[in-house]
Amino acid sequence: MSQQIFLNDRLVPAEQAMVSVYDHGLLYGDGVFEGIRVYNKRVFLLAEHVERLYESARAIRLEIPMPQAQMAEAVEKTCAANSIVDGYVRLVVTRGAGALGLDIRKTANPQVIVIAATIKLYSEELYQQGLKIITASTIRNHPGALSPRIKSLNYLNNILAKIEGTDAGCEETLMLNHKGDIAECTGDNIFIVKRGILKTPPTDAGILEGITRNCVVQLAEKASIPVQEVTLQRHDVYTADECFLTGTAAEVIAVVEIDGRKIGAGVPGPITQDLRQRFQKFARGE
Ligand code: PXG
């Protein structure tokens, strides 16, 4: 059986799942999305992802044509229809088709798309060794222009930074904000450990408030590891004892080198490894 896609109100075969070339999601990146993991048939932190989707939509004045509970049901239904055990869900809401032009009043029918798929993960080797990353010259979007707190379909800012990283042979790329402080990576949040304290930039640093980030903060607090949301500068990451990234796809992954500076001992640190284990257990419901 072919892949089943949820489109607006029903499941359709992937070949029939289409949106208009006039959809403002395509024409202008006008829409919102979420990426969600499925672990052992359980959609991980579904309510949190659905809530963030609706908050992103509210921020761009996009009215999603169904209540949150129905959206969550659509996700569950799509996973079941595709027999997903461990996988990845992409939830997309576009502005819908409209006249050429930016005016949202000339659009109709926002499109709700749920794709349930498998996921390509970082190799086990990378988790063992840790990532080497660089800082992009492309800064994160100014919050006064397009707030990074909105998970919108306009990801060019991140893509441009990611290109710089891949050109340099890096799997992820660090981005600074408009003030020159540490923001986040192109698809992951960043943490450092300094003298036993876990530190991560606050949401007002111009970042996406990652659901994995929030989960790791809670797991750290439960493990009595002190956590601070504080402004970080490049100096702080260069001189950190440990560094790691969090994200739906990456989960928790160590960073061992940034801009040619070795972090700590140049291997994944003990607190990073501990939090990675705690996260994996939590995500897999153990
Ligand atoms: N920052 C940015 C800019 C992101 O896009 C994160 C942080 C981590 O947030 P979560 O909530 O996932 O912990 C993201 C998430 C993809 C993909 O296909 C990207 C994300 C999530 C899932 C898939 O590249 N970004």
Q: What pLDDT, in 10s, does the model give residues 12-40? A: 999 999 999 999 999 999 999 999 999 99
User: Which is the catalytic residue, given 132, 151, 162, 199?
Assistant: 151
Q: What pLDDT does 1 receive? A: 67
Domains plus CATH for the chain? 4-117 (3.30.470.10), 124-283 (3.20.10.10)
Phi and psi, residue 281, nearest 5°:
-65, -45
**If you measure from the C-alpha of residue 242 to the centroid of ligand 1, how many angstroms do you get, rounded to a whole number?**
21
Q: Is 248 in the pocket of ligand 1 (CB under 6 A)?
A: yes
Q: Is 31 in the pocket of ligand 1 (CB under 6 A)?
A: no
Q: The whole model's pTM is what?
A: 0.97
Mutational test site, ligand 1, from 248, 279, 282, max ligand atoms within 8 Å of CB: 248
C-alpha torsion 244→236→189→265, nearest 10: -10
Nearest CA to ligand 1 atom 22: 35
Cβ contact 82:4 at 8 Å: yes
The candidate with the shortest Cα–Cα distance to 53, out of 185, 184, 155, 150, is 150
Helices (H) and strands (E) counted in the chain, each on its own, are 8, 15
Site of tokens 């800012």: 157
Q: Is 202 in the pocket of ligand 1 (CB under 6 A)?
A: no
Mutational test site, ligand 1, from 120, 171, 188, max ligand atoms within 8 Å of CB: 188
Q: Is 152 exposed, middle or buried (0-12, 13-18, 19+ CB in 10 A)?
A: buried
Q: Is 34 in the pocket of ligand 1 (CB under 6 A)?
A: no
Going from the C-alpha of 127 to that of each of 97, 113, 247, the distances in angstroms are 42, 32, 14
CA torsion sign, 148 to 73 to 214 to 239?
Answer: negative
The atom of ligand 1 lying closest to the CA of 36 is 22
**If you measure from the C-alpha of residue 51 to the centroid of ligand 1, how many angstroms do you get, rounded to a whole number?**
15
CA–CA gap between residue 93 and residue 145 (Å, rounded): 21
Going from the C-alpha of 231 to that of each of 124, 180, 214, the distances in angstroms are 31, 10, 17
Nearest CA to ligand 1 atom 18: 35
Q: What pLDDT does 182 receive? A: 98
Q: What pLDDT does 2 receive? A: 87
Q: Is 210 in the pocket of ligand 1 (CB under 6 A)?
A: yes
Q: Is 151 a catalytic residue?
A: yes
Going from the C-alpha of 149 to that of each of 32, 120, 143, the distances in angstroms are 11, 25, 8
Q: What pLDDT does 34 receive? A: 98
Q: What pLDDT does 274 receive? A: 98
Q: What pLDDT does 119 receive? A: 87
Going from the C-alpha of 95 to that of each of 57, 114, 152, the distances in angstroms are 9, 15, 11
Phi and psi, residue 104, nearest 5°:
-70, -20
Residues of the chain with pLDDT under 50: none
Find the helix or strand (DSSP H, E) in which 252 lies: strand 251-258
CA–CA gap between residue 237 and residue 134 (Å, rounded): 11
